[in-house]
Amino acid sequence: MSKQYLKGLVSGIIITILLTSVVFASTKTIDVLFNGVNIEVNGQKVNADNILYNGTTYVPLRVTAEMLGMEVGWIQETGTATLKSKIIPHAEDSENIEDSRNFESKELKLLSITSPITAASEASITIAGTPKSTYSIIFADPYIGEPLEAKVAGEDGKVNWTWKLDQRNKPGNYALTIIDFDSGQVVTSILVVE
């Protein structure tokens, strides 16, 4: 073997060892349980992939929405997943049933969100929907904030929530879901914590 070949071989082995150690050093292991939770909707068992991590069960949004009889949409421009409930009559003769709500439902839209944000900072989110409808906000993680009260939209259909993030909040992406109790529309957004 020539010295040139031997140098190349040794250099290749050293580079491989260094790259492998960098990959192993940057890998983080987490423990999750796949499909470890039985899911029931209205007393009926549902087969849906789920992950149990840190005491929280994660189910894909589309699967969850469809289990609850909702339509799922996606707005590419804003990166927003939308959910809309279907009005389901609760009578045998559904032809004689009318929607008794005396308002015109408008599409629920996210107007603004404070994101990215740091732990222990003040966050804010503003939505536009149907005037005088009742809206609630749900956090996917308890450290994002204490539960916020439901609010009724003004004449312009706008609702704003402001709250302080917990100081223990870790960097990551956290889902926020806003629900229109009157029309059943849902909008989900992501709060980025740095």
pLDDT tens track for 80-109: 888 776 544 333 443 433 333 334 456 788
Cα dihedral across residues 159, 165, 169, 170: positive or negative: positive
Q: Give the fold, CATH level 3, of 69-87+105-193.
A: S-adenosyl-L-methionine-dependent methyltransferases (2.20.130)
DSSP collapsed to 3 states, 79-145:
CEEEEEECCCCCCCCHHHCCCCCCCCCCCCEEEEECCCECCCCEEEEEEECCCCCEEEEEECCHHHC
Give the best-scoring range by mean pLDDT among 25-39, 118-132, 137-151, 163-177. 118-132
Whole-model pTM: value is 0.48
CA neighbor of 57 nearest in space, from 40, 43, 73, 44: 40
CA neighbor of 85 nearest in space, from 183, 189, 187: 183
pLDDT at 119 over 70: yes
- pLDDT for 26 equals 60
Q: Which residue has the tokens 């990166």?
A: 79
Alpha-carbon span 151 to 60, nearest angstrom: 27
Segment 12-36 shows an average pLDDT of 72
Domain range summary for the chain, segments of one domain joined by +: 69-87+105-193
Alpha-carbon span 87 to 105, nearest angstrom: 13
pLDDT at 169 over 70: yes
pLDDT at 16 over 80: no
- For 25-59, the pLDDT digits (tens) are 566 777 888 888 888 776 777 778 888 888 888 88
Residues of the chain with pLDDT > 70: what percent? 77
Higher pLDDT, 125 or 86: 125
Residues of the chain with pLDDT > 90: what percent? 4
Mean pLDDT of the chain: 75
- pLDDT for 105 equals 53
46 Cα distance to chain centroid: 21
